Amino acid sequence: MKGGRGAVAAALGIAGIVLVGCGVQPSGVVGAGEPASGLTRGMRLYFASDSGLRGVPLLDREVKDLNAVVKLLAVGPPPAEQRDGLTSLVQLGGYTVTGTGTRVTMRLEGPYAMSGRDQGTGQLVCTLARAQSVLDPKTRADDVQVTMRPKEGAALGPYRCAEFLSR
């Protein structure tokens, strides 16, 4: 028993020398701040896929207004993203989109064909929330609420992008 204790003590002593010899210094807990949360910055268009919505960075265009972003969304994803299974479910007639701070309103000239809880609506909500945060840098994309107002019928929303990403 005494020989076993001696061997363990010798092994621990050698391990301690090896760790000190390798430059490993003892440390405590290192604070790194809060973890990342919310949506990232930069413009993205959101497209539908079998696994839910996916954001695609819009690298080659500057966002100037919300109406132009909806037009880009309706065109559909670039060819590489189409090969990855992304598509656009957005089909709209006439519309006008306005935004102030955390509020975005899309006024439609006709009825809205989607249910309001589908990927097509999610594409619009997430893309418009992201665009509003790019146009107004003081606004966080995950704070933006989007309301759809068809010419006839009740308004849909307000919706937040997170409602469509957590499915």
166 pLDDT band, cuts 50/70/90, is low
pLDDT over 90, % of the chain: 54
pTM, to two decimals? 0.73
Give the bridge partners for 2, in sequence order.
none
Residue 138 has pLDDT above 50, yes or no: yes
**Has residue 135 got a pLDDT over 70?**
yes
Q: Return the pLDDT at 8.
A: 52
Rounded CA gap, 56 and 27, in Å? 41
pLDDT tier, 122 (very low <50, low <70, confident <90, very high otherwise): very high
What's the mean pLDDT in 22-41? 48
Alpha-carbon distance 29 to 48, whole Å? 42
Non-local (6+) Cβ contacts of 90 within 8 A are 70, 73, 74, 120, 123, 124
Q: Is residue 110 very low, low, confident or very high in pLDDT (cuts 50, 70, 90)? A: confident
Q: pLDDT higher for 141 or 63? A: 141
The identity of residue 40, as a single letter, is T
36 pLDDT more than 50? no
Instruction: Give the tens place of pLDDT for each residue, 50-93.
Output: 999 999 998 777 888 999 999 999 889 989 999 999 999 998 88
Structural tokens at position 158: 């307000």
- Residue 33 is predicted with a pLDDT of 41
pLDDT band at residue 9 using 50, 70 and 90 as cut-offs: low
Structure tokens at 136: 């107004």
